Amino acid sequence: MLVQLNLNPIVSIDLTVGTLVLISLIITIIAPKTKKIFHLIFIKLGILGIAMFYFLEALSFLFLSEILTIISGILLFPITIFFLIGINYITREKVNTFSLVSTCCLGVILCVFAFFPEAVVIGYEDRFLMIQRGGWFKVIAEIFHILFIGIVGYWGIITWVNAPFLIKKEANLFLIATSFMVVRGLINLLVYIHPLWILGVNIVFAVGIILLTLVITNEPKILFIFPFMLHRILVRDKNGYPLFDHDWSKSKINEQVFTGFLNAIQLMSAEVMNLGGLLDIDLKEGILMIHESHYVSVGLVSSKTSKFLRNSLSHFIEDFETLFELNLKKGVKDPKKYEPAYLLIDKYFANFPMRLIEDIKDDILLESKYLEIPKQIEQKLKSITINQDELNLLKSELLKAPVGFTTEFFSLYDKLTREDDQDSNQIN
Is the model's pLDDT at 308 over the cut of 90? no
Q: Categorize the per-residue pLDDT at 255 as very low, low, confident or very high, splitting at 50, 70 and 90.
A: low
Q: For residues 161 and 91, is the Cβ–Cβ distance under 8 A?
A: no
328 plus 422 within the same structural domain: no
**What is residue 352's predicted lDDT score, i.e. its pLDDT?**
74
263 plus 286 within the same structural domain: yes
Is the model's pLDDT at 155 over the cut of 80? yes
Classify residue 403 as exposed, middle or buried by CB count within 10 Å of its CB (0-12, 13-18, 19+): buried
- Which of the listed residues 355, 378, 413 is the one where a domain comes to its end? 355
Name the more confident of 400 and 84: 84
Name the more confident of 190 and 239: 239
348-381 confidence digits (pLDDT tens): 887 776 655 555 454 443 334 444 566 667 777 7
77 plus 205 within the same structural domain: yes
Is 2 inside a domain boundary?
no
30 plus 120 within the same structural domain: yes
- Which of the listed residues 355, 374, 396 is the one where a domain comes to its end? 355
Is 4 inside a domain boundary?
no
Return the CATH number at 107. Answer: 1.20.1070
User: Within 13 A of 386's CA, how many CA atoms are on the CB side?
Assistant: 0
Is 281 inside a domain boundary?
yes
3-state helix/strand/coil string of the chain: CCCCCCCCHHHHHHHHHHHHHHHHHHHHHHCCCCCCCCCHHHHHHHHHHHHHHHHHHHHHHHHCCHHHHHHHHHCHHHHHHHHHHHHHHHHHCCCCHHHHHHHHHHHHHHHHHCCCHHHEEEEEECCEEEEEECHHHHHHHHHHHHHHHHHHHHHHHHHHHHCCHHHHHHHHHHHHHHHHHHHHHHHHHHHHCCCCHHHHHHHHHHHHHHHHHHHHHHCHHHHCCCCCCEEEEEEEECCCCEEEEEECECCCCCHHHHHHHHHHHHHHCCCCCCCCCEEEEEECCEEEEEEECCCEEEEEEECCCCHHHHHHHHHHHHHHHHHCHHHHHHCCCCHHHHHHHHHHHHHHCCCCCCECCCCCCCCCCCCCCCCCCCHHHHHHHHHHCCCHHHHHHHHHHHHHCCCCHHHHHHHHHHHHHHHHHHHHHHHC
Mean pLDDT of the chain: 80
Q: Categorize the per-residue pLDDT at 107 as very low, low, confident or very high, splitting at 50, 70 and 90.
A: very high
Is the model's pLDDT at 81 over the cut of 90? yes
Is 388 inside a domain boundary?
yes
Q: Count of domains in the chain? A: 3
Is 339 inside a domain boundary?
yes
Average pLDDT of the residues in 66-80: 96
**What is residue 178's predicted lDDT score, i.e. its pLDDT?**
95
103 plus 218 within the same structural domain: yes
219 plus 248 within the same structural domain: no
Is 208 inside a domain boundary?
yes
- Which of the listed residues 337, 355, 373 is the one where a domain comes to its end? 355
Is the model's pLDDT at 311 over the cut of 80? yes
Return the CATH number at 261. Answer: 3.30.450.50
**What is residue 203's predicted lDDT score, i.e. its pLDDT?**
84
Domain residue limits at 244: 228-355
248 plus 331 within the same structural domain: yes
347 plus 392 within the same structural domain: no
71 plus 152 within the same structural domain: yes
Q: Tell me which of 155-169, 225-239, 364-378 is least confident.
A: 364-378
Would the pTM count as exceeding 0.75?
no
43 plus 123 within the same structural domain: yes
165-214 confidence digits (pLDDT tens): 778 889 999 999 999 998 877 776 555 555 556 667 788 889 999 999 99
> Among residues of the chain, what percentage have pLDDT more than 70?
74
Average pLDDT of the residues in 320-345: 89
**Gap between the Cα atoms of 155 and 147, Å rounded:** 12
